[in-house]
Structure 1
């Protein structure tokens, strides 16, 4: 499983909004399944990944301690709210690079399930999820929709405002 948390650190998140966001983020990270892969991407006018290589972490006690220290340093100091670039990074680099052959196999299975079943397939939503933690004041809402289309129908996007 892969989980990506996009954390809004724009100026509009100052004060209580940022405090609540970081508390929710700590709870999410703590609650992930053991051995799940996760990444936290904070954004404003620019974005950065918490992991040094941009490929995320495996959920272990040691990694959770490291990540919590990084979360404690986060403030709402990154200017505007550009969601496009971090969302595109999450879709193209994290999901596709992790295991391309596995992803290709899962995509094929989902396509087959969609053809053979009137019910929306649920298998892949257990594999990859993006959580967007924001106050909802994005600079370009159309960029978000564009990235979702780039991610194809087999992505799962969860928004928290």
Structure 2
């Protein structure tokens, strides 16, 4: 399943649609402004909340939490011991770990589980400026979860980049 995200609208407090390759709206990312921490809701076209994403308030490293139906589903944060600068780890509550690596700031990265590609995030196959694609490879994959993971790592990488460059 190939999805399109128009990044120029991407930010806390902004709402934007994620569309399929034919331009049909599938998911709404509802940014929650006026909060102490970053927060988003991923909704379907009927307005039902599929997952909630929020920044963890107290942690040594920036971490984001993904919840479904009020229950924590996963945490997303920078991998502690990695030679790669852009390497994130997703810890699901059932103990499963997903790896996210690549050029996050360039929107060229992959999400995999135990070496198996689950989703590829890329600008390469798009000609529309400020848009990146999310190609969910496995048909049985949890699309809302993988979209939430992409949102989390992009928010975390952008924040880290801003801190390093004094744009805090």
Higher strand share: 2
TM-score, scaled relative to structure 2: 0.30
TM-score, scaled relative to structure 1: 0.30
Q: Which fold has the larger relative contact order, with Cα–Cα distance below 8 Å and residues 6 or more apart in sequence?
A: 1
Higher helix share: 1
> Which of 1 and 2 has greater Rg?
1
